[in-house]
Chains A and B, each alone.
Chain A
Amino acid sequence: MEPPMEGNDSLSLVLFSGTDDKLAAAAILAAGAAMMGRRVNVFLQYWALDSFRKEHIHRDHGAVPEAGAEGARLVERSEKKQSWSDVLIQAKDVGEVKIAACAKSMEMFGITKDDLDPIVDEVAGVAAFMAEATGPITFI
């Protein structure tokens, strides 16, 4: 293992939206940060969390309304080539990336850790996420 890179802030991402375009954008940010030696904390809420369910993660999650039908097709094609979940797996492989599920959103959906894809490391409360999220938080 190489020595850690110096002078790096962490990247903290709160993922709220569950569409493939937003999750893919978030996954690329996480991968870039991890490659450059930044610690990455990801917190999954609401529809993003829903897309990380074991049963849902490999589904087509569509795109935001502004993408339109044509944009959604572009996203779908890009996802077939390289899915956001694969990018996140690579990010975890190359760096320090922790993915936590919001306990309150879990409760809302009535699901447990077993319902989530193994890419999710833990279920955590918001205070625990904040304790590790040094620096600014990006909300996607």
Chain B
Amino acid sequence: MTTELPAITKSIDARGMACPGPLMSLIGAIRAGAVGEAFEVLSSDAGSRTDIPAWVAKAKHEMVAVVDEQGYARFVVRKAH
């Protein structure tokens, strides 16, 4: 099944990175980005499944999609402010 995803401003390949690396990379990209831009992070770390949505909710950005891929997950986040 294909999910309709927005245009990605920056994609971060954090596969193989250990916790908390993938989320750290995402935070850095979002801070450097502009409001409305979408960011994607690929992570094979199991902790990202809970950590990325938890941070996005806390920081009040938008969790656009979590897509399961073979051996990793794809997280798409829109910078909301």
Contact = CB atoms under 8 A, between A and B. Distances in A.
Nearest to A1: B31
A31 B23 CA distance: 10
Given A90-B20, A94-B28, A3 B55 contact: no
Interface in B16-37: 18-21, 23-24, 27-28, 30-31
A32 B23 CA distance: 10
A82 B23 contact: no
A87 B30 CA distance: 19
Given A31-B24, A35-B27, A5 B19 contact: no
A82 B21 contact: yes
A3 B24 contact: no
Contacts of B20: 28, 31-32, 35, 87, 90
B31 A37 contact: no
A82 B24 contact: no
Interface string A53-87: 00000000000000000000000001001100001
Contacts, number: 38
B19 A2 contact: no
A90 B24 contact: yes
Interface in B45-81: 51, 54-55, 58-59, 81
Contacts of B54: 36
Contacts of B24: 31, 35, 90, 93-94
A1 B31 CA distance: 6
Central interface residue in B20, B28, B30, B81, by most chain A CB within 10 Å: B20
Interface in A1-57: 1-3, 5, 28, 31-32, 35-37
Given A2-B81, A94-B27, 20 more contacts: A2-B30, A2-B59, A3-B81, A5-B58, A28-B20, A31-B20, A31-B24, A35-B23, A35-B27, A36-B54, A36-B55, A36-B58, A37-B58, A37-B59, A81-B18, A82-B21, A90-B21, A93-B24, A94-B24, A94-B28
